[in-house]
Structure 1
Amino acid sequence: MAHDNFRPVYHPAGHDNALRAAVQELRTGRWVSMRDLLAGTEGWALWTQRTQVLAAVAAGSDTVQAWLAEEPGSAAATVMHTRVSVERAIRAHREGHARTQELWQQAWEACGTAARRSPADPVPWVCLLALSQLDGRQRLEEHRLAPPGPMLFPGPWALLAEADKRDPYNREAYHRMLQFVYARRSDGSLSEAVNFVQWAASSAPEGSALHAMPLFVRVERYRRENGHEKALDLHWVTEDATRDALRALTLWFDHTPPAEASLLDLSHLAHALWGALKFDEAARVFEALGPYYVTLPWAYRTRSQNDATQAEEVFVRARSRCLSAVRDARGGPSG
């Protein structure tokens, strides 16, 4: 397909074809495909990813509740009920809904039930970490524990440790912790976020998605500084920015099959490499994305960060620029 005619596809399941089919069924109110998918899911990383996507789709319906009512002994249904409860509490908090406190309490209780029913599962602990961002003032003691290292902040470190114990370097657990950093102060200290992601990445093994986390904090700084409004945008070509992008490429991307990678991680890496003018390297990541696309971080390059069409246009331009560089280097057309 020629670049000029390329139109990206947005789908939360991305390369996961089995998940895409279950999502389609879930949107029509049917839960059997979700149950069967989760029954065949191997590995905590994939389990965490699939349950998160399914919960985001199911949060607006009673489908998971119907499953749990039909199969009250199902551990997977219990975990999905917890996921949906947490998703609803977070959405209510984001929207300033009057029922936020009530939904938070229900979600917290659901986490406890799921943790007792599935003691080896990291997801209940990931869910508790997700709820911690609702306690920005750190009123709960479990959200202001002493950190495990210097330059870090008081926070829900025991919850992260429990998730880590069950699935070391669980991607979502660490991203939930990053969200807590942003929520714990009115200004969401970026220096604390930088320290956290550097600490997390420093001990992560090759192939861990934690090596891409510094790219998320760099995008957040760009967003807060309204970088897209500056006539001379040097944010992405600095030595530090380029180093972060290349480290993510070599320590994470080069060791991870594209089908197993988060679309958000791939998107942030492609964006960072493109911004650093590393077009050949970025082209590899765009190729790994295939037809799929997510709005972030591309939306932060637009005047209206809520305009999905503008974000898509930025993505398509960046992709075309990088793939064209590879095509020109090879001396021929590229599909």
Structure 2
Amino acid sequence: MSLPPPPPGRARRTADVPCDAALDDSELRVARAALAQGRRQPARSLLARTGDDWDRRGHRITVLALDPYSAAWAGEWLGAEPGSADAAALVALAEVRRVLRGKDRPARARAACGRAAALAPADPTPWLGLLMLERALGGRREVVRAFEEVRARHADHHHAHHLMVARLAERRATAGPDPLHEVYDFAHWAAERAPADSPLAVLPVVAHAERYRVLATAGFAPADPAGSAHWRGRPARQALGAAFDWWLEWEQDGHPRRLVDLNYLAHATYCEGRGAEAAALLRRIGEQVTPEPWAYPDRDPRTAFQEACDRTLGR
């Protein structure tokens, strides 16, 4: 649910808005809180209701797996119901999280993903977990294989595409700016072939943001994206225009699946000199703060973007 705009003359203090990976999914919040207390029934019911809405299922299991104790609670659930594909998928993604936190061995997580995939051959979620793991630790062949397995089950899986954009953006990090970098081709290819109502329409903007993250880390771009030419030029304007128009249409239609990174879009809008639109967009994002893994590491982009928009509007 979007928050109301701040009173005239005052900018909303974004630090007061909690960063919750569950976004606006209230049912997920309830199930997550119960699972943290060792009660699995709310999570069990939630995933059963989610069914084969693969994007939403992937998001919900990913968030449930974030808790440090999820692996233990999900393991007990799987022990009680050995044939449960939901429990096995949660175990798999929780094990992936443990590896990414440095608490376990990759082989254990890979095996858990394999067992979950065997229990539900049509479900892309175990392969999403493997993609998360290989995106951080694997080679190119392992990453591509996991991504293709996800796409074979759900061709427009938005989380998997975000992971691939982030991984591709990191290739040739020391080569400097390159308008022909492969990440842009990949993002435009995915956006062009996706259905009209797909969140992949915003992927070209995400590609610009992820590549900027890499260039800034390598010292080829300033820390403040507003001072960079990276967001200017015809390709950036085309990507921005298409994504912004898509988002407005989606929002007006009340589309229920808005689990996409609108912060990047607001940022690009501001950098193209459309400060008023960016400020309005940030307000409408409200509590839908960017979840990992496609947020900038070690910084809150939403706060920086809001402050930049406020400066532009003279607040």
* TM-score band w.r.t. shorter chain: 0.7 to 0.9
Higher RCO (CA < 8 A, seq sep 6+): 2
Asked if the contact 1:242/1:273 (under 8 Å) is kept, the reply is no
Q: State the match for 2:185 in structure 1.
A: 195
Shift of 1:227: 2.1
Write the letter of the residue equivalent to 1:160: F
Give the secondary-structure state (helix, strand or coil) at the position aligned to 1:218: helix
Deviations 1:214-233 (A, max 9, x none): 22221233332332368953
Write the letter of the residue equivalent to 2:257: E
Q: State the match for 1:207 in structure 2.
A: 197
Give the secondary-structure state (helix, strand or coil) at the position aligned to 1:261: coil
Question: 1: distance between equivalents of 2:229 and 2:187?
Answer: 22
**Equivalent runs, 1:203-282 vs 2, <5 Å:** 203-223=193-213, 224=215, 225-228=220-223, 232-252=227-247, 254-255=249-250, 257=254, 259-262=256-259, 265-282=261-278
**Equivalent runs, 1:31-180 vs 2, <5 Å:** 31-42=40-51, 43-58=53-68, 62-92=72-102, 103-134=105-136, 136-138=138-140, 142-143=141-142, 156=144, 158-180=145-167
Write the letter of the residue equivalent to 1:44: W
Give the secondary-structure state (helix, strand or coil) at the position aligned to 1:26: helix
Give the secondary-structure state (helix, strand or coil) at the position aligned to 2:113: helix
Q: State the match for 1:152 in structure 2.
A: none
Shift of 1:168: 2.2
Deviations 1:93-128 (A, max 9, x none): xxxx7x5xxx22112222221111111111122223
Distance 1:185 1:67, change over 3 A: farther
Question: 1: distance between equivalents of 2:273 and 2:293?
Answer: 16
Question: 2: distance between equivalents of 1:47 and 1:298?
Answer: 18
Unaligned runs of 5+ in 2: 1-5
Shift of 1:170: 0.4
Q: Quick one: percent identity of the two aligned structures?
A: 30
Shift of 1:81: 0.6
Deviations 1:131-180 (A, max 9, x none): 33245544xxx53xxxxxxxxxxx62x54333223222101121232344
Q: State the match for 2:23 in structure 1.
A: 14
Question: 1: distance between equivalents of 2:241 and 2:189?
Answer: 18
Q: State the match for 1:333 in structure 2.
A: none
Segment of structure 1 superposing worse, 11-20 or 199-208: 199-208
Give the secondary-structure state (helix, strand or coil) at the position aligned to 2:67: helix
Shift of 1:258: 6.3
Question: 1: distance between equivalents of 2:125 and 2:292?
Answer: 24
Give the secondary-structure state (helix, strand or coil) at the position aligned to 2:27: helix
Write the letter of the residue equivalent to 1:54: L
Question: 1: distance between equivalents of 2:194 and 2:273?
Answer: 27
Question: 2: distance between equivalents of 1:255 and 1:231?
Answer: 27
Give the secondary-structure state (helix, strand or coil) at the position aligned to 1:277: coil
Q: State the match for 2:3 in structure 1.
A: none
Question: 2: distance between equivalents of 1:188 and 1:26?
Answer: 45
Shift of 1:289: 1.0
Distance 1:137 1:166, change over 3 A: closer
Shift of 1:64: 1.6
Aligned residues: 295
Q: State the match for 1:332 in structure 2.
A: none
Q: State the match for 2:298 in structure 1.
A: 306
Asked if the contact 1:41/1:47 (under 8 Å) is kept, the reply is yes
Distance 1:182 1:108, change over 3 A: farther
TM value normalised by structure 2? 0.78
Write the letter of the residue equivalent to 1:260: R
Write the letter of the residue equivalent to 2:250: H
TM value normalised by structure 1? 0.74
Distance 1:40 1:320, change over 3 A: farther
Task: Please report the RMSD computed on the Cα atoms of aligned residues, expressed in angstroms.
Answer: 3.4
